[in-house]
Structure formats: C-alpha cells, structure tokens
Amino acid sequence: MKLSTSTKALLIATAAIVLLFVLGDRFGMRSNTKDPREFVIELDTAAVITIRFEDHADPRNALQLVRKGTAWERMAQRADSLPATEQARALLAQFQRVPVKRDMGMILLLGERYQLTDSTLCRITFADLDGGERALNLGSSTFAPGKVGSWTYVNVPGEKEVYAVEGLLVGDLRAEHRVDRSGGLAA
C-alpha cells in the first residue's frame, strides 16, 4: 500500500505531537494547577495547645500562649487587656475558619504593598497535640466600603498567593492596637 505525501506528513505530525505529550508528561512539564482555596486556615480548636504570635516589624509584640489543662498561660510578659485564657479563646474563635474573600495575586508582586515581606509581616502559629502546626502570615489591613468593613491581606507560609480576608486579624496583638484596662494605650 502506497501512501500519498500529504498522508505521510499527517502521520508524522501526529506522531510528533503524541511524542511531545509523552515526553512532557514523563519529565513533569505540566502546569501546576490547583483548586482555589476556600479557607486560609482551619483549626481543630480543641487540639490547639500553643498559640504563637510574631511581629517581624516590632518583636516587642511577641506573644505565646500555652494551654495548661483548661486554662491558658501567657509566656511573654506584656500588657494585655484580656487575661490569657480569654485572649486564647478569642484568638481560637477568630482563626477557627478564615474564609478567602478574594485572591489578590502573587506574593512577589504584592508582598511589599501589603506588608507581607520578611521584615514587616506578622505570623500567627497554632500548634496542636500531635505536633502539627498551622500558620498564617498577616499583612496590612484596610477598610472596605459598605457592609464588609475591614479586610486583612494574608499569605499561607510556603505558598505564593496573597489573599484578602474579612476582619482585622491583627486586632489588639500589636502595641498600636492594644488598650490597657484604664483606657490608655499599652506599651
């Protein structure tokens, strides 16, 4: 059986395309697609035994809360308006499930703009009984018009995406936001 020139060219082109797909699959030349995140952090609050807050811009704001039975103890000495147990419960409630409201883009482009660089970000880490850790990098906050109110820009450590989530997540963890019991600003 004799094939025409156009049929031979079509068979060669088809074989070349199949070979390219096989080689691309074999050597990992696929794009890394993943499902969009619904939540930036989800916690089993009953299993959390340590809460650590680091402020890279001002290390004086560091905070560590450790669970001792049903109560919590503050390991860093700082002037906080809430007792350690109340503060831990408030943080666990706030960070139990933080839904993504908007994907803002990549950290390399937006890190500086949203204070998510190594020298400006805050990081909150929750450690559980099994030794697992869940962390979230917290950047700047802004206020959105309408019913939404405040937004915080966040990044999951080790990932490239920056997300906007509802709420003022840094809250009273930074000195400029903390107020002591007498109503003045805490140092």
Question: pLDDT, tens digit, for every residue of 111-154?
Answer: 999 999 999 999 999 999 999 999 999 999 998 777 778 999 99
Residue 187 has pLDDT above 90, yes or no: no
Question: Tokens 């962390």 appear where?
Answer: 135
Q: Average pLDDT, whole number, for the chain?
A: 87
pTM: 0.75
Residue 165 has pLDDT above 50, yes or no: yes
pLDDT digit string (tens) for 92-102? 999 999 999 99
Determine contact, residues 85/73, Cβ cutoff 8 Å: no
24 pLDDT more than 90: no
* % of the chain surpassing 70 pLDDT: 89
25 compared with 168, residue with greater pLDDT: 168
pLDDT score, position 80: 73
Closest Cα partner for 169 from 107, 112, 97?
97
- The confidence band for 176, taking pLDDT boundaries of 50, 70 and 90, is low
Model pLDDT, residue 29 = 67
Residues 164, 140 contacting (CB under 8 angstroms) = no
Closest CA to 126 of 38, 54, 36: 54
Q: What is the mean pLDDT of residues 58-84?
A: 87
Sequence-separated (6 or more) residues with CB below 8 Å from residue 37: 100, 103, 156, 161, 163
DSSP state letters, 116-147: -STTT-EEEEEEETTS-EEEEEEEEEEEETTT
